[in-house]
Structure 1
Amino acid sequence: MAQIARWAAKFPDKVAAHFPDRGIAITFGELDARANRIAQWLIGLGLRPGEGIAMLMDNRPEFIELVYACRRAGLYYTPLSVHLRPAEVAYMLGDAAAKAIIVSPGLAELATSLLREGSIGAMPRFAVGEGLDGYAGFEAALAAYPAPADLPPRPVGREFLYSSGTTGLPKGIKRPMLEWEKRDAPDWDMTWKSLYGFDEDTVYLSPAPLYHAAPHGYAIRRTIGEGGTAVIMAKFDPLRALSLIDSYSVTHSQWVPTMFARLLALPGEERARFDLSSHRCAIHAAAPCPVAVKQRMMDWWGPILWEYYAGSEGVGTTVAAPQDWLARPGTVGRPVNGVALHICDDDGRELPAGQVGRICFEGAPRFAYHNAPEKTAAAYTAQGWASLGDLGRVDDEGWLFLSDRRADLILSGGVNLYPAEIEAAITRHPAVAEVAVVGIPNDDFGEQVHAVVVPRDPRANQAVLRAELDALCRDLLAGPKRPRSWEFAEELPRSEAGKLLRRILKERYLTPS
């Protein structure tokens, strides 16, 4: 029996997903019926098992319906970031060999650009909801399939995700489907279920875009797929998020550090308005969380913050429970699932505890980037250990601490400097909401440390704040690590996953005109 069909049979009237910003709720019974009808339609389009579609959609019910329809129809689905440019969409459509694309009217500008620039070509294209010029109507197409019906036995369809592309074109990660005969077996690791306590009673707040890997996994598979209820925001807003935790008695949630910064920026009286007592598990990842920021969140929400380090590639995962982090501030945990962790130098040799090197995992199933054998090879050491390209260190007990991505290192006077370490020191100042550190050209040293600061109060006296930050860095950082130049900004460029886009920062602030 299909995953959702099982829950629809058990409690058809239970809400699978709330979309409070749209005033819509969809029950398991409704989701089951819609997924069946959409699967019939996709098969009717001539899509064969193992082929796929692309989805350019914001957070709305059809996104979830399409996911479960593709699973039933034996198809891959590729969610596309709404921040892509037409040329990037064209690349991903071609690389994934998508046979159709489905878009949201809320993304009309990008969807229209795709038509104007020929990015879609002649592939079938559809728009959900109220429709969009140049795209066939999704609901009109479904009208030919008015009721659920038996479906042919096909493998269990699944996601075909792409990396966020912070350092170049996105890389596809395409995993095999489960055979139809094995359709009731889990097709991914279930350790998270016991760690975080997801079950039928879970009420999960999703404040992020569903097209990104982590929100997609937590909302659709780990919550709805386990019989729980997802509360899906159209777009993150800190005050709205607190309100939804209160009004829906949210038990679980997933965040990125920049969301914490925006939550902490709310006035105390605003934060105190809401009852957050139902909230027992707040999970976060995607980027290093400054110690000072996480400590303030712990002080506010209590010891409910769980942190993990992982990637869509599935090469390994570390997890830090709240108590683990409180005992070792800054750690992102130790490996789970029997995978071993190694820190290696540039030649693949393992380094001792305390030294910074490339984070590698041993023991996870081997993965491959789609159509990119050279990138796959670069992700593995000679020993067969896999890496996401990040740098870190372990302590004597094997707890991992992130440093940075290798691409973000600053080389100044022959010394490797890690932006995350410098950023962590600067965020200890109470007037700092966010900070990004990058390397900029320096005639004497090659690069120098440059800090871009977002003040909590936009009206703050920048000269005074700079002097205070200079003094703080003198107290906390060795000479080469101290910023030689400062800049103040209203916001930092980030991906939809909350990852800092340092390359965009350099383009925006540092490229000569």
Structure 2
Amino acid sequence: MSTFHPPVGFPLRDLPSAHAEHSPSSIALRCGDRERSWAEMARATRSLAQGMHQRGVGHGDFVSLLLRDGVDIVTAAFACYQVGAVPQPLSTSLAPSELAAILELTTPALVVTQDAQSTAELPGDHPTSAVDQLGTDDAAQLPTVISPSWKAPTSGGSTGRPKIILCGQPAELPAFDAEAWQISGEDRFLMTAPLHHNAPFATTMTALFHGAEVTLLERFDPEAVLEQIERHRITWAYLVPTMMRRISSLPEHQRLSYDLTSLGQLWHCAEPCPAWLKEEWISWLGGERIWELYGGTEAQAGCTLSGTEWSAHRGSVGRPRWGEITLFDDQCAEITEPGIPGDVYMRVSPGSPPAFRYIGAELKEVDGWSTLGDIGEFDTDGYLYLHDRRSDMITVGGVNVYPAEVESALTEHPEVLSAAVIGLPEDDLGSSVHAIVQLSTPGQNTYSLSTEQLQEFLTSRLSRHKRPTSIEFVQTSLRDEAGKVRRAALRRERLSPEGIPTEPKEVHYA
């Protein structure tokens, strides 16, 4: 790790060379067999920046990073800062139509791909370069400019239509991310998720900004996480609850054979964490080491809490730590009493600049308040408890059913790896509760768990109107690499063009 400790406001463009000057041989980044010292990072960054400059990339331009390799993503992002551009990591798994829609929104000055074949397969007509062909040893002076934004993540949200969430912070060292995630330059940092997602990119770059030693997983593997923590004496790690479940499912003797004593903080976010799973991890590692962050990519406000706090406020996502959070009822009146649910609204603290702006979507605000669509309530101590997304809520015979609650109960079963619950049209009650279940160990064409067994398991956990009336078993993952489930897309896939439920191959009715 680097001995240079940059002050708030330090230009991100100058960080690789500053860390290289103070700690040239210290490891900046590793991923699989690739490893870069700060001296190597500074050289590689400048080479890519020169290549971008030669291709006309300049101040405020978007550069789309269509890269699989984490080392290349980080290096290219730093190169963007050196020419004043805005890096935009994108998933290499995007369908051509999805990618085309995103590129149409940003009109990037350059698309950087992993190789020449990826470049040839790009939709549309955009300036492109394979990353291994972009660098140059040209020693020409680069312009001294600061990018107007240090990241521009994409979001499809529940609508499925892409939008860009342009960060309002210029490419100067922000105080926010390091404080919110409690990251320091002394950390040995482990990222387990792909960097084209916002939280993985933001936390990884923040760790590097401060000179931490960063380890990236090439792909998630439950045992590899434990092995990397032990091998590199990791102090800070990131997981999503689906990953936590897979690690918990390892045989106990295997899971407990690794030395995790170096780990000071394990953070999770991106999806609700079932209470039983959180309790398992708190029991295993201790509440002081388990941390959760709740907030949107927009980052106008958010909550954090430790496992110790969670044990005293079971099910909470914490108290607001930055910005402001409040609740509004259906009549747009603010809810001030604890225990009453409402729509969760957020805004930046008074006097703060805007945290973001949308490209490709209209921001709907009331007096600076905007919502992610969540429903929640506060307790008497100011801790926030989430119910679900309003757009995902199912109304069965006039009674509201929250999919997250049903999914949490389903995943308590030891053979259920993941679950998604959606509402489907039903003539009598208006909607029916449909569960899509991914088992931990499915057979080739058979399932070890029957719908009757699963329904019996739910009997003591959910009231009758919340229990699924139909259960569908699938072998494909229900969540994306960030741990998010897109219920609206799952629902569309199970409806005909006329809005009538179709019959999945593996569906069982209660």
Relative to the length of structure 1, the TM-score reads: 0.87
Please show how residues 249-268 of structure 1 align to structure 2 within 5 Å. Answer: 249-268=233-252
- For 1:132, the equivalent position in structure 2 comes to none
Whole-angstrom distance in 1 between the partners of 2:259 and 2:238: 18
- The answer as to whether partners of 1:55 and 1:80 remain within 8 angstroms in 2 is yes
Matched letter for residue 376 of structure 1 = L
Judged with a 3 Å threshold, the aligned counterparts in structure 2 of structure 1 residues 447 and 284 are, in CA distance, closer, same or farther, namely: same
Matched letter for residue 358 of structure 1 = D
* 1:466 CA drift (Å): 3.4
Asked if 1:279 is matched to 2:263, the reply is: yes
Whole-angstrom distance in 2 between the partners of 1:281 and 1:49: 37
Which segment drifts farther, 359-368 or 285-294?
359-368
- For 1:426, the equivalent position in structure 2 comes to 410
Once the two structures are superposed, residues 10-63 of structure 1 have per-residue CA deviations (whole angstroms, 9 ceiling, x without a partner) of: 10110100112xx11011111112222222222222223111211111133221
Q: 1:120 aligns with which of 96, 102, 124?
A: 124
Whole-angstrom distance in 2 between the partners of 1:368 and 1:387: 14
Q: 2:371 aligns with which of 384, 387, 395?
A: 387
- The answer as to whether partners of 1:59 and 1:210 remain within 8 angstroms in 2 is no
Asked if 1:3 is matched to 2:24, the reply is: no
Q: 2:319 aligns with which of 334, 357, 363?
A: 334
- The answer as to whether partners of 2:86 and 2:152 remain within 8 angstroms in 1 is yes
Matched letter for residue 154 of structure 1 = V
Matched letter for residue 302 of structure 2 = T
Whole-angstrom distance in 1 between the partners of 2:446 and 2:193: 33
Judged with a 3 Å threshold, the aligned counterparts in structure 2 of structure 1 residues 87 and 282 are, in CA distance, closer, same or farther, namely: same
- The answer as to whether partners of 1:315 and 1:386 remain within 8 angstroms in 2 is no
Asked if 1:171 is matched to 2:174, the reply is: no
Q: 2:435 aligns with which of 445, 451, 454?
A: 451
Q: 2:194 aligns with which of 203, 209, 216?
A: 209
Judged with a 3 Å threshold, the aligned counterparts in structure 2 of structure 1 residues 55 and 331 are, in CA distance, closer, same or farther, namely: same
- The answer as to whether partners of 1:77 and 1:160 remain within 8 angstroms in 2 is yes
* 1:286 CA drift (Å): 0.4
Once the two structures are superposed, residues 278-310 of structure 1 have per-residue CA deviations (whole angstroms, 9 ceiling, x without a partner) of: 111111100111111111122223221100111
Whole-angstrom distance in 2 between the partners of 1:500 and 1:93: 24
Matched letter for residue 409 of structure 2 = A
Asked if 1:360 is matched to 2:351, the reply is: no
- The answer as to whether partners of 2:57 and 2:110 remain within 8 angstroms in 1 is no
* 1:9 CA drift (Å): 1.2
Whole-angstrom distance in 1 between the partners of 2:156 and 2:359: 17
Whole-angstrom distance in 1 between the partners of 2:363 and 2:194: 27
Once the two structures are superposed, residues 427-477 of structure 1 have per-residue CA deviations (whole angstroms, 9 ceiling, x without a partner) of: 333333322211122110111112223333436996865334323433232
- For 2:56, the equivalent position in structure 1 comes to 46
Q: 2:74 aligns with which of 52, 64, 85?
A: 64
Asked if 1:467 is matched to 2:462, the reply is: no
Judged with a 3 Å threshold, the aligned counterparts in structure 2 of structure 1 residues 496 and 274 are, in CA distance, closer, same or farther, namely: same
* 1:419 CA drift (Å): 0.6
Whole-angstrom distance in 2 between the partners of 1:3 and 1:491: 41
- For 1:155, the equivalent position in structure 2 comes to 146
Once the two structures are superposed, residues 144-168 of structure 1 have per-residue CA deviations (whole angstroms, 9 ceiling, x without a partner) of: 52x5x64322124622221244432
Whole-angstrom distance in 2 between the partners of 1:508 and 1:112: 31
- For 2:328, the equivalent position in structure 1 comes to 344
Judged with a 3 Å threshold, the aligned counterparts in structure 2 of structure 1 residues 371 and 507 are, in CA distance, closer, same or farther, namely: closer
Indicate the percent of aligned positions where both proteins have the same amino acid. Answer: 30
Q: 1:33 aligns with which of 40, 43, 47?
A: 43
- For 1:95, the equivalent position in structure 2 comes to 105
Asked if 1:370 is matched to 2:358, the reply is: yes
Asked if 1:83 is matched to 2:93, the reply is: yes
Whole-angstrom distance in 2 between the partners of 1:279 and 1:437: 34
Judged with a 3 Å threshold, the aligned counterparts in structure 2 of structure 1 residues 446 and 111 are, in CA distance, closer, same or farther, namely: farther
Whole-angstrom distance in 1 between the partners of 2:77 and 2:239: 22
Whole-angstrom distance in 2 between the partners of 1:463 and 1:485: 17
Judged with a 3 Å threshold, the aligned counterparts in structure 2 of structure 1 residues 186 and 144 are, in CA distance, closer, same or farther, namely: closer
- The answer as to whether partners of 1:493 and 1:504 remain within 8 angstroms in 2 is no
SS at match of 1:370: strand
Whole-angstrom distance in 1 between the partners of 2:98 and 2:446: 41
* 1:253 CA drift (Å): 0.8
Whole-angstrom distance in 2 between the partners of 1:6 and 1:368: 28
Unmatched tracts of structure 2, length 5 or more: 1-10, 497-501, 504-510
Matched letter for residue 390 of structure 1 = D
Judged with a 3 Å threshold, the aligned counterparts in structure 2 of structure 1 residues 52 and 453 are, in CA distance, closer, same or farther, namely: closer
Once the two structures are superposed, residues 328-375 of structure 1 have per-residue CA deviations (whole angstroms, 9 ceiling, x without a partner) of: 2211111013x33212123322233223221112434435543446x3
Asked if 1:289 is matched to 2:273, the reply is: yes
* 1:102 CA drift (Å): 0.7
Judged with a 3 Å threshold, the aligned counterparts in structure 2 of structure 1 residues 150 and 162 are, in CA distance, closer, same or farther, namely: same
Whole-angstrom distance in 1 between the partners of 2:409 and 2:70: 40
SS at match of 1:174: strand
Whole-angstrom distance in 2 between the partners of 1:500 and 1:270: 29
- For 2:3, the equivalent position in structure 1 comes to none
Whole-angstrom distance in 2 between the partners of 1:112 and 1:456: 38
Judged with a 3 Å threshold, the aligned counterparts in structure 2 of structure 1 residues 350 and 8 are, in CA distance, closer, same or farther, namely: same
* 1:508 CA drift (Å): 4.8
Judged with a 3 Å threshold, the aligned counterparts in structure 2 of structure 1 residues 407 and 319 are, in CA distance, closer, same or farther, namely: same
Matched letter for residue 144 of structure 2 = P
Whole-angstrom distance in 2 between the partners of 1:492 and 1:391: 26
Matched letter for residue 184 of structure 2 = D
Judged with a 3 Å threshold, the aligned counterparts in structure 2 of structure 1 residues 371 and 250 are, in CA distance, closer, same or farther, namely: closer
* 1:509 CA drift (Å): 5.1
* 1:212 CA drift (Å): 1.0
Count how many residue pairs are aligned between Structure 1 and Structure 2. Answer: 479
Judged with a 3 Å threshold, the aligned counterparts in structure 2 of structure 1 residues 492 and 402 are, in CA distance, closer, same or farther, namely: farther
Matched letter for residue 203 of structure 1 = R
SS at match of 1:435: strand
Judged with a 3 Å threshold, the aligned counterparts in structure 2 of structure 1 residues 404 and 69 are, in CA distance, closer, same or farther, namely: same
Whole-angstrom distance in 2 between the partners of 1:430 and 1:61: 36
Once the two structures are superposed, residues 363-418 of structure 1 have per-residue CA deviations (whole angstroms, 9 ceiling, x without a partner) of: 34435543446x302xx2x3331211222222122211111112211111122210
- The answer as to whether partners of 1:162 and 1:170 remain within 8 angstroms in 2 is yes
- The answer as to whether partners of 2:119 and 2:128 remain within 8 angstroms in 1 is no
Matched letter for residue 152 of structure 2 = F
- The answer as to whether partners of 2:168 and 2:356 remain within 8 angstroms in 1 is no
